[in-house]
Amino acid sequence: MNYKHIANLISNAKRITVITGAGISTVSGIPDFRGKIGIYTTGEYDPYKTFDIDYFKQDPSYFQRFAKGFVEILEKAKPSGMHKFIAMLELEGKLEAVITQNIDGLHKKAGNSKIYTVHGTIEQGHCLECHKAYTFKEMKSIYLNDRSPFCNVCGGGIKPDVVFFGEQVMFIKESINAVRNCDLLLICGTSLQVAPVSNFPYYVKPDVGIIVINMGDVMIDNRNVIRINDELEKAAAILFKEVFNEDISD
Ligand SMILES: [Zn+2]
């Protein structure tokens, strides 16, 4: 019932902005940092030593250890059904932008190009001193330990373009504009508990509808919200069928 209604809204929309979080990538094998097997929960990695920028500058080995495991998972990860659905929205010319809290690069892998990675991405890096850019291939060889984590030009430390604690979040202005300009806001796989993304929905125009697809509670207070509390893969399969008349279940 609800799905037919939201499929209609999506079909009729022309400038959809999508906000995504960890829930969209768990089925791709990426652990939710805050979920049951996430690094904030299991204690396998100390989040402070792993993601604090000042600590990283003193001793990058904690991050390196995390990144090695993360990159090994990423190598095998494939975009989920919901990633593919969002890529299809762009392909069909219906997408304003994707705003994601994820650092896994899976939206790009799925085929999206209009992506605002507010927490950065693990797929590239920069020298902290001379700002030389490093590709994912180079970053991978650092994480997998066959290459030194120091810049080959100036000897400075190389940091991935992931937003650490103590660093500025990226693409705030662009994200807020994408929310202001959209004619439908679709929020997938996030409980909206982490700022600044949790504030973005408040920038929609008053008459713009908001669809939230997530398993579990979502911190949002808006008169125009339609909630789907369901598995994202199930939602993606239904929406593919309803909006694009495509079957992705096999
Ligand atoms: Zn350098």
Q: Give the pLDDT of residue 28.
A: 92
Rounded to whole angstroms, the Cα distance separating 185 from 212 reads: 8
Compute, in angstroms, the gap from residue 138 CA to the centroid of ligand 1.
Answer: 14
Q: How many Å lie between the centroid of ligand 1 and the Cα of residue 78?
A: 33
Q: Can you name the residues that pair with 99 across neighbouring β-strands?
A: 19, 116
**Catalytic-labelled residue, pool 5, 83, 107, 119:** 119
pLDDT at residue number 2: 86
What was the pLDDT predicted at 51? 87
| Cα of 158 from ligand 1 centre, angstroms | 8
pLDDT at 148: 76
Whether this prediction's pTM lies above 0.75 is answered by yes
Q: What is the pLDDT along the chain (250 residues), one digit of tens a residue?
A: 589 999 999 999 999 999 999 999 999 989 876 665 565 556 666 777 888 999 998 888 888 888 888 899 999 999 999 999 999 999 999 999 999 999 999 999 999 999 999 999 999 999 999 999 999 999 999 888 767 789 999 999 999 999 998 899 999 999 999 999 999 999 999 999 988 999 999 999 999 999 999 998 888 886 779 999 999 999 999 999 999 998 886 5
Q: How far apart are CA 63 and CA 119, in angstroms?
A: 15
Amino acid 61: pLDDT:
86
pLDDT of residue 66: 87
Distance from Cα 45 to the centre of ligand 1, integer Å: 28
The full set of domain ranges for the chain reads 1-29+80-119+171-250, 31-76+120-162
Beta strand residue intervals within the chain, DSSP E: 16-20, 95-100, 115-117, 120-127, 133-134, 158-162, 184-188, 209-213, 225-228
The contacts of residue 30 (CB under 8 Å, 6+ apart) are 22, 73, 74, 77, 102, 104, 106
CA 26 to CA 171: how far, in whole Å? Answer: 24
Ligand 1 centroid, distance to 129 Cα (angstroms): 5
Q: Are 218 and 192 in contact (CB under 8 A)?
A: yes
Structure tokens at 176: 């807020």
- Please confirm, yes or no, whether 131 is among the known catalytic residues: no
For ligand 1, the distance from its centroid to the CA atom of residue 131, given in whole angstroms, is: 6
Fold of 1-29+80-119+171-250: Rossmann fold (3.40.50)
The region that residue 29 occupies, defined by phi over 0 for left and psi between -120 and 50 for alpha, beta otherwise, is left
Q: How far apart are the CA of 133 and the centre of ligand 1, in A?
A: 9
pLDDT at 133: 97
Which CATH superfamily is 31-76+120-162 part of?
A: SIR2/SIRT2 'Small Domain' (3.30.1600.10)
Q: How far away, in angstroms, is 39 Cα from ligand 1 center? A: 30
- pLDDT in the model for residue 144: 86
Give 192's Cβ-side CA count (13 Å radius).
20
| Confidence (pLDDT) at 97 | 98
Q: What is the pLDDT of residue 41?
A: 59
> How far, rounded to the nearest angstrom, does the alpha carbon of residue 90 sit from its chain's CA centroid?
16
Q: What confidence score (pLDDT) does residue 39 get?
A: 58
Q: What is the pLDDT of residue 60?
A: 86
